[in-house]
């Protein structure tokens, strides 16, 4: 099997996404999570061994990196965002890898794009316009991102505004106080109202795991968010002191798997914050493969919340096809 055949069979064939219904949620069921115990040392040991248990090299690594690109939520959430910056980011989302690199990989006709573009609500119309004619969803943060401490009616109105402007996905932030005080009914009711405000847009619940103190809290918050109807559970806003880590992600995946077994419903996962390199992308893909298998390595169930990661992935792909490392400036995002 030559290089092109391997890249096509091991990489782009996985772009075919199985259909599954949205998460309809359940009533609040504390019995599913209240008595859960988490062994931190075992979790950290398992997470530490994951990147060493599976070695992906050469053309297989290139295929996995192409897969990672299709799962990236290409993001700009800066205070100085402008329509021009968003338009440039969307142009990169449409063509995330240089044409000559794709041609060398034999993927020039495969329509490789990122999984979505994520922006602030006021930037949504600019992203929608720039992505017109593509299948790339526009995601918007909302609900008082990143702290989530504005009054609930205001947070719900922000969701409705973003959806009205054309957002396909809404990344909400939860009230961490509800988790820290174990007020599960308040957390459930809040997320359920946000889910209703989203209408047809998918809801991604950001747990801000760096603020939740314990892995047990991470599991519990994950389960409540899914019971309330979250279509994705997401680690972080990217603004906390500690963002996505492999141990936290492992616990969230275990919660996701348990929820699926108990409810019969499918929920996606999005790590975000602190992931910058192609190696990071590989580590999280390996985690998904080991814990949940190939169906969860698709953009309809797995997203990587990152931007600078894309530049490093493109740089690694160029190294694969040319044998030389380019300067990072050759792979600017915008």
CA distances from 41 to 38, 44, 216 (A): 9, 5, 13
Q: Which residues face 202 on adjacent strands?
A: 169
What DSSP letter does each residue of 146-213 carry, written as one string? TT--S-HHHHHHHHHHHHHTT-SEEEEE--HHHHHTT-HHHHHHHHHHHHHHHTTSEEEEE--GGGS-
Give the pLDDT score at 20. Answer: 62
Spatial contact of 160 and 193, defined as CB atoms under 8 Å apart? no
Count CB-CB contacts under 10 A for residue 289: 16
* Cis bond before residue 210 (omega within 30° of 0): no
Spatial contact of 226 and 256, defined as CB atoms under 8 Å apart? yes
Please provide the CATH number assigned to the domain covering 3-12+26-331.
Answer: 3.20.20.70
Quickly state the pLDDT bin for 1 (edges 50, 70, 90).
very low
Three-state secondary-structure class, residue 70:
helix
CA–CA separation, 129 and 55 (whole Å): 41
What percentage of the chain exceeds 90 in pLDDT? Answer: 84
pTM: 0.92
pLDDT value at 5 more than 50: no
Identify which of 1-15, 18-32, 150-164 has the greatest average pLDDT: 150-164
Question: pLDDT digits over 27-44, tens only?
Answer: 999 999 999 999 999 999
Count CB-CB contacts under 10 A for residue 183: 14
CA–CA separation, 316 and 125 (whole Å): 33
Spatial contact of 56 and 96, defined as CB atoms under 8 Å apart? no
Return the domain boundaries, the chain.
3-12+26-331
CA–CA separation, 138 and 223 (whole Å): 26
CA-angle at 32, arms to 261 and 220, nearest 5°: 105
- 3-class secondary structure for 242-269? CCCCHHHHHHHHHHHHHHHHHHCCCCEE
CA–CA separation, 3 and 186 (whole Å): 53
Residues serving a catalytic function are 171, 234, 270
Which residues fall within 8 angstroms of residue 29, CB to CB, at 6 or more apart?
Answer: 227
- Over residues 125-130, the mean pLDDT reads 98
CA distances from 107 to 82, 90, 116, 322 (A): 32, 20, 20, 16
pLDDT value at 258 more than 60: yes
Count CB-CB contacts under 10 A for residue 247: 19
Spatial contact of 281 and 307, defined as CB atoms under 8 Å apart? no
- Over residues 108-126, the mean pLDDT reads 97
Quickly state the pLDDT bin for 51 (edges 50, 70, 90).
confident
pLDDT value at 327 more than 80: no
């Amino acid at each position: 099997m030559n290089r092109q055949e391997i890249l096509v069979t091991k990489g782009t064939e996985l772009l075919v996404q199985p259909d599954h219904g949205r998460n309809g949620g359940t009533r609040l069921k504390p019995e599913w999570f209240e008595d859960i115990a988490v062994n931190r040392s075992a979790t950290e040991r398992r997470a530490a061994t994951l990147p060493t248990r599976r070695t992906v090299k050469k053309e297989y690594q290139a295929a996995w990196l192409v897969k990672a690109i299709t799962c990236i939520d290409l993001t700009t959430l800066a205070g100085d965002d402008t329509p021009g910056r968003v338009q440039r980011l969307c142009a990169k989302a449409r063509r995330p890898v240089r044409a000559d690199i794709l041609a060398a990989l034999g993927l020039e006709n495969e329509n490789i794009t990122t999984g979505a573009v994520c922006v602030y609500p006021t930037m949504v119309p600019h992203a929608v316009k720039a992505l017109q004619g593509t299948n790339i969803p526009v995601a918007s943060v909302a609900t008082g991102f990143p702290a989530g401490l504005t009054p609930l009616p205001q947070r719900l109105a922000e969701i409705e505004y973003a959806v009205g402007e054309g957002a396909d996905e809404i990344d909400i932030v939860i009230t961490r106080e509800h988790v820290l005080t174990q007020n599960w009914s308040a957390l459930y009711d809040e997320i359920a109202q946000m889910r209703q405000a989203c209408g047809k847009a998918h809801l991604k619940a950001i747990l801000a795991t760096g603020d939740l103190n314990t892995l047990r809290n991470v599991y519990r918050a994950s389960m409540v968010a899914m019971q309330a109807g979250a279509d994705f559970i997401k680690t972080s806003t990217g603004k906390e002191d500690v963002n996505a880590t492999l141990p936290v992600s492992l616990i969230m995946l275990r919660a996701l798997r348990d929820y699926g077994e108990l409810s019969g419903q499918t929920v996606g996962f999005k790590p975000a914050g602190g992931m910058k390199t192609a190696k990071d992308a590989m580590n999280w893909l390996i985690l998904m493969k080991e814990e949940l298998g190939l169906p969860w390595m698709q953009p309809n169930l797995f997203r990587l919340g990152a931007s600078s990661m894309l530049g490093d992935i493109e740089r690694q792909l160029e190294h694969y096809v040319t044998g030389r490392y380019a300067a990072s400036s050759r792979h600017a995002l915008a």
